[in-house]
Chains A and B, each alone.
Chain A
Amino acid sequence: EIVLTQSPGTLSLSPGESATLSCRASQSVTSNYLGWYQQKPGQAPRLLIYGASSRATGIPDRFSGSGSGTDFTLTISRLEPEDFAVYYCQQFPPYIFGQGTKLEIK
């Protein structure tokens, strides 16, 4: 069974700083079918990145994804107040989510 492990569990940063979120898969991810989502309290998740590095429609370019195989990274540069949320990675096949990283204001 494939497991996605996200780190850190919580990341405390200030607006204007950069955030680096990690997602590690227990097996190689097929065809880089790896996505990243942002979720704010009381809201549905929002797709940020697909194919490991492609930004979804309307996503600002301060969000970038990278990686391949088993190690993937979401980088958020120049943090804005609205970026503080929980972030999930997800792979296929099968559809599996990581446990999430909470990005909080320091």
Chain B
Amino acid sequence: AQTVTQSQPEMSVQEAETVTLSCTYDTSENNYYLFWYKQPPSRQMILVIRQEAYKQQNATENRFSVNFQKAAKSFSLKISDSQLGDTAMYFCAFSLDFGNEKLTFGTGTRLTIIP
């Protein structure tokens, strides 16, 4: 079974600073997919960024980027120039299949951006 671990229950950072959220996972599979989801107080789950394990290049979406270390089974999220709207719960998630498989979530990191 796959597991996802987020070791930082809570983090806070000043507005405009950079913050990195950690995620490690465990799997014996070689092909899989990793995701970061954001859940603001509205509770809507929003996909922030995705990474296919077969791709060596780290994914980037505007101010969000990942550091994917396949051998170390690590998948951290970096948020640059943090904004107040980034305040939310962030969940790291793992999926084995491409479009027809469950997401296994970590326990989440509550991120607060301080004005």
Please say whether chains A and B are actual partners in one complex: no
Which of B's residues lie within 8 Å of A, judged by CB?
Answer: none
Which of A's residues lie within 8 Å of B, judged by CB?
Answer: none
